[in-house]
């Protein structure tokens, strides 16, 4: 007689970030076989990235935020029940009751119910216009109300991490925004008084009104029951049309309370080092759990660590080193464009600790390290410049005395000896999301044969969480490969064994004018590829001259350069005329408006102070550009790896704070460097005073006016990995400024790798900023004459690429959607109306093909394809 063993039932309550991480960790364990898994989710969608929730406002879709890999649930037989939360637990019967009425049996129950936003119980807290900031549905409601008529002022209650995120969202939605914080400074838990003062100043400079040391007494409403104002503890009233409560969170532990599981005095389900509750069949992880150290952790990394502990424990794979006894609470993020980081004992609470400070209020940088009596790095605060966070946090966690002078760790790049991953001990945790040490990364390279960062990520999971450690991860991998005698291949591609900078020198010295010639003489055979063709095309455009669409050059270009326009998501293209310094005449505005109207284009004023026209088809591009060129406009090179814009404030000409003519200089710089082909795009700005309205310190090169001249900053950028620019030279006269920028740009173009921004190049190049300063200011390499000659040649030979296309019938022939039907619209390029303009149709929408120049009043006339 045989006995059938029924599968054991595992019920997971909650499918947030921590819940999904538990599932992934559990199914990886050998002991997970034989379990039947059911997941009860309160929200109507599967787990998504709540850390980057605010990116939803800038266009990131719910699908892009999803953390559940396609096919994952089906592959592992996981039954996910959306919008069906657990409502009751019967521990004696081992069952869970669901909102739908279903009752599920469990052999093991994991509670990952997370937390809920704390809303102060003040009068009016539930009035119309009051919101919390927790889910995608919350954000949808906030956006809808912010865009409604009559909503102009938003108030955020709470100046912590999430509160400042919410303030950034309201500001982006166009509301006048206030932040009310009961503590005496912003982010009081994470940063100290000095860091808080700088953070406040930076955020107020962005137009957000900050009120610290003030509590919310009441939400005042009008006759219609809607929010009209907020009463503060100091007696003031703030006008308000919309209120977002972001004053902290509380553990969602009601299910545990109702079934008599112990909870902490201030909430949180009590668990042991295995993440088990008092009932050995019930576990709790993430924000709903009170760990053995008496803390409720509200960060993703501790939640992931608890998830892995519970998964190993349930699968019988738990070892002592996997017990959860506490976690790193380091934080690095960007709030309203301001870089902020905190790690370890940031407030210096350890007895005998001393502070090492670096503060530059003019540049907006504050750094503090807390050093123990034995020389150990205990913690720190970084505001305005967080580049060193990846190195400092592991050093603090490592728990060993520093081998580098603390002062060197806070000084800006170029003012102190470089400290890299070699300074980290093997036990230093590099990836706190998955608790991966430097030693484990080294072992993945030396023992597992991993030779690239993606391979190490797959092997160790390092860098697959929040991503803040990826840069350090790459440096460790490179160091370990070098230490093992492995030669890191820096070849541009399989067709060229040289780097991009080496090919630049070959083309320059040998006078090569074509790709085939370069490939025949210095390549490895073949016909080239998508890596080398655009890179060589850029080099040839800068050195050999000629139009980029002529002859062999035309075949080298990528899609954007091929049509001198940016390809958009639905197959249409954008048109971006240059508007130097952001200055444009009324007639110029009228011309752009008429062109957009006549061709049915979507118009958008960009952050770079120019006007983008979206929705043009390939065959429309020449007609549009003919009118723009005739009106005096030229290509803005939005499609190329070249200078984009030189942004400016109004400067001394109009502003009462300005000390120099920032607009005039911005126009001169943009016209000087227009069309300059480079390894990556270039952005610049000129601010007329230290108030920095043009954000010059976030650009590849930025200029800030002083009473004595101009300060030049280099190597800054925004994007995914933002970097604050470094001061290259101060108080320059205009002639010296121009020559210094000339040399900086040409030295970068000459030595940078393919698709390497100035920020990355500046950190990679040996000697860093100090070396660049010696080259361009002191001519330490004796090449300034060559650099000057190259930029002078560029200025003398510049021609507008679109004007040249319009003058050549052969070049114009490429601008057609269909060779056999010139002028016919592309039926795959479709649009839908939105806010009196157009946008690309989504796959599920009935889009329309625009017929040329059919406009009726302010509304587009569209016709079926």
Q: Are residues 348 and 378 in the same domain?
A: yes
Report the alpha-carbon distance of residue 113 to residue 693 in Å, rounded: 44
Asked whether residue 629 is domain-assigned, the answer is: no
88 within some domain: yes
Helices (H), 50-192: 62-65, 72-75, 136-146, 161-172
The verdict on 221 and 315 lying in the same domain is no
Task: Report the alpha-carbon distance of residue 301 to residue 328 in Å, rounded.
Answer: 8
* Tokens matching residue 528: 């080239």
Q: How far apart are CA 644 and CA 150, in angstroms?
A: 37
Q: Are 32 and 100 contained in the same domain?
A: yes
Which DSSP state fits 94? T
Nearest 5°: the CA angle 740, 744, 748 is 170
Please measure the distance between the N-terminal and C-terminal CA atoms of the chain and give it in whole angstroms: 70
Within-domain flag for 596: no
- How far is 344 from 329, CA to CA, in rounded Å? 7
Residue 81 lies in a domain: yes
- 239 with 103: CB under 8 angstroms? no
* Residues 285 and 361 both lie in one domain: no
What does the alpha-carbon distance between residue 528 and residue 486 come to, in Å, rounded to a whole number? 26
pLDDT of residue 312: 92
Q: Clarify whether residues 140 and 259 are in a common domain.
A: no
DSSP character at residue 842: P
> Are 669 and 769 members of one domain?
yes
Count of CA atoms in the C-beta half-sphere (13 A) of 279: 24
Q: Are residues 783 and 705 located together in one domain of the fold?
A: yes
Helices (H) and strands (E) in the chain, counts: 28, 40
Q: Residues near 53 by Cβ (< 8 Å), separated by ≥ 6?
A: 65, 136, 139, 165
Structure tokens at 429: 């945790």
Residue 808 lies in a domain: no
User: What is the side-by-side order of every strand in the sheet holding 227-232?
Assistant: 216-221, 227-232, 237-239
> Alpha helix (H) ranges present in 752-831?
758-764, 768-778, 784-797, 801-806, 809-812
| CATH code of residue 708 | 3.30.413.10
Domain membership flag for residue 367: yes
Where is the domain boundary, 269, 294, 322? 322
pLDDT score recorded for residue 445:
86
Q: Is 65 in the same domain as 92?
A: yes
Count of the separate structural domains present in the chain: 7
Report the distance separating Cα 616 and Cα 610, nearest Å.
17
Q: Residues with Cβ < 8 Å from 697, sequence gap 6 or more?
A: 363, 364, 704, 713, 716, 724, 725
Taken as a whole, the chain contains a residue count of: 865
C-alpha–C-alpha distance, residues 703 and 374, integer Å: 43
Binding-site residues for siroheme: 693
Last residue of a domain, one of 759, 777, 799: 799
pTM for the model? 0.55
Which CATH number characterizes residue 164's domain? Answer: 3.50.50.60
Q: Identify whether the C-beta of residue 388 lies closer than 8 Å to the C-beta of residue 404.
A: no
Residue 112 to residue 292: CA distance in whole angstroms: 17
Binding-site residue numbers are 649, 655, 689, 693
Exposed / middle / buried, residue 850 (Cβ in 10 Å: 0-12, 13-18, 19+): buried
Residues of each annotated binding site for [4Fe-4S] cluster: 649, 655, 689, 693
> Within a domain: residue 187?
yes
Residues 655 and 783 in one domain: yes
Clarify whether residues 15 and 76 are in a common domain: yes
What is the per-residue pLDDT for 241? 94
CATH number (domain holding residue 370): 3.30.390.30
Averaged pLDDT in 10-residue chunks for the chain of 865 residues: 68 96 92 91 92 79 86 93 96 96 96 93 93 92 90 92 87 89 88 87 86 92 92 92 92 96 94 95 96 88 92 83 78 74 83 84 82 86 81 78 77 56 70 80 86 79 71 77 70 80 87 87 79 85 80 72 77 87 91 91 87 88 92 89 92 89 94 93 93 92 94 85 87 96 95 88 86 93 92 91 89 68 64 84 75 40 37
- The pLDDT assigned to 78 comes to 95
Residues spanned by the domain of 406? 330-419
pLDDT of 421: 59
Give the residue from 394, 419, 444 where a domain finishes. 419
CB 519 within 8 A of CB 555: no
């Amino acid at each position: 007689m045989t006995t059938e063993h029924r599968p054991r039932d595992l019920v997971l309550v909650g499918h947030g970030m921590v819940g999904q991480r538990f599932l992934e960790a559990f199914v990886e364990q050998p002991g997970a076989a034989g379990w039947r898994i059911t997941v009860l989710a309160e929200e109507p969608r599967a787990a998504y990235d709540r850390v980057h929730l605010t990116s939803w406002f800038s266009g990131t879709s719910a699908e892009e935020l999803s953390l559940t890999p396609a096919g994952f649930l089906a592959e592992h037989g996981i039954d996910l029940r959306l919008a069906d939360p657990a409502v009751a637990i019967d521990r004696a019967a081992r069952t869970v009751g669901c909102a739908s009425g279903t009752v599920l049996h469990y052999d093991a129950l994991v509670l990952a119910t997370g937390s809920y936003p704390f809303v102060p119980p003040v009068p009016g807290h539930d009035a119309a216009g009051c919101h919390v900031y927790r889910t995608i549905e919350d954000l949808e409601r906030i956006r809808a109300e912010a865009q409604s008529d009559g909503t102009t002022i938003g108030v955020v209650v709470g100046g912590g991490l999430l509160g400042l995120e919410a303030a950034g969202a309201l500001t982006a939605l166009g509301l006048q925004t206030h932040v009310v914080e009961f503590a005496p400074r912003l982010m009081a838990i994470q940063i100290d008084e000095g860091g808080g003062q700088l953070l406040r100043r930076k955020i107020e400079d962005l137009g957000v009104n900050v009120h610290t040391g003030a509590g919310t007494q009441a939400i005042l409403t009008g006759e219609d029951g809607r929010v009209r104002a907020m009463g503060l503890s100091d007696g003031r009233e703030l006008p308000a049309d919309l209120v977002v409560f972001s004053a902290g969170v509380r553990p969602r532990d009601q299910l545990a309370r109702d079934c008599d599981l112990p909870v902490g005095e201030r909430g949180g389900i009590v668990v042991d080092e295995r993440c088990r509750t008092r009932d050995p069949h019930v576990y709790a992880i993430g924000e709903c759990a009170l760990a053995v150290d008496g803390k409720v952790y509200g960060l993703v990394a501790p939640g992931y660590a608890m998830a892995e502990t519970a998964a190993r424990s349930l699968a019988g794979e738990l070892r002592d080193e996997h017990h959860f006894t506490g976690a790193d609470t380091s934080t690095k993020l960007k709030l309203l464009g301001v870089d902020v980081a905190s790690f370890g004992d940031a407030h210096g609470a350890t007895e005998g600790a001393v502070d090492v400070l670096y503060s530059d209020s003019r540049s907006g940088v504050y750094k503090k390290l807390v050093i123990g009596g034995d020389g150990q790095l205990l913690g720190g605060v970084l505001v305005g410049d967080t580049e060193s966070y990846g190195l400092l946090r592991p050093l603090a966690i490592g728990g060993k005395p520093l081998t580098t002078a603390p002062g060197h760790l806070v000084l800006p790049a170029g003012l102190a000896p470089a400290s890299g991953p070699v300074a980290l001990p093997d036990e230093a945790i590099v990836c706190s999301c998955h608790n991966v040490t430097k030693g484990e990364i080294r072992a993945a390279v030396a023992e597992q044969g991993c030779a690239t960062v993606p391979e190490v990520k797959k092997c160790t999971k390092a860098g697959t969480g929040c991503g803040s450690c990826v840069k350090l991860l790459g440096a460790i991998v490179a160091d370990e490969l070098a230490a093992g005698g492995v030669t890191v291949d820096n070849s541009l591609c399989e067709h060229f064994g040289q780097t991009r900078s080496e090919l630049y020198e070959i083309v320059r010295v040998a006078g090569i004018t074509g790709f085939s010639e370069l490939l025949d003489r210095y390549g490895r055979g073949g016909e080239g590829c998508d890596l080398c063709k655009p890179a060589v095309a850029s080099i040839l455009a800068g050195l050999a001259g000629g139009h980029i669409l002529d002859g062999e050059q035309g075949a080298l270009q990528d899609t954007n350069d091929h049509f001198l326009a940016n390809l958009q998501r639905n197959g249409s293209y954008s048109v971006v005329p240059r508007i130097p310094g952001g200055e444009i005449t009324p007639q110029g505005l009228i011309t752009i408006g008429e062109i957009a109207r006549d061709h049915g284009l979507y118009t958008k004023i960009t952050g770079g102070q120019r006007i983008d026209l979206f929705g043009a088809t390939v065959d429309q591009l020449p007609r549009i550009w003919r009118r723009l060129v005739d009106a005096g406009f030229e290509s803005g090179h939005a499609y190329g790896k070249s200078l984009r814009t030189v942004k400016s404030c109004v400067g001394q000409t109009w502003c009462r704070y300005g000390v120099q003519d920032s607009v005039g200089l911005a126009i001169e710089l943009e016209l000087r460097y227009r069309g300059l082909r480079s390894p990556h795009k270039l952005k610049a700005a000129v601010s007329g005073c230290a108030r920095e309205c043009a954000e010059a310190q976030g650009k590849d090169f930025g200029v800030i006016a002083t009473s004595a001249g101009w300060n030049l900053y280099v190597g800054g950028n925004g994007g995914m990995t933002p970097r604050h620019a470094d001061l290259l030279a101060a108080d320059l006269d205009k002639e010296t400024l121009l020559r210094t920028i000339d040399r900086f740009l040409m030295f970068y173009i000459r030595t940078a790798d393919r698709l390497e921004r100035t920020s990355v190049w500046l950190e990679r190049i040996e000697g860093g900023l100090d070396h660049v300063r010696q080259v361009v200011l002191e001519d330490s390499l004796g090449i300034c004459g060559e650099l000057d000659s190259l930029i002078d040649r560029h200025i003398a030979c510049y021609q507008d690429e679109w004007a040249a296309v319009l003058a050549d019938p052969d070049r114009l022939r490429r601008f057609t959607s269909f060779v056999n039907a010139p002028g016919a619209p592309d039926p795959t390029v479709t649009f839908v109306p939105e806010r009196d303009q157009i946008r690309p149709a989504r796959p599920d929408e009935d889009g329309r093909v625009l017929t040329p120049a059919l406009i009726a009043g302010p509304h587009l006339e569209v016709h079926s394809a």
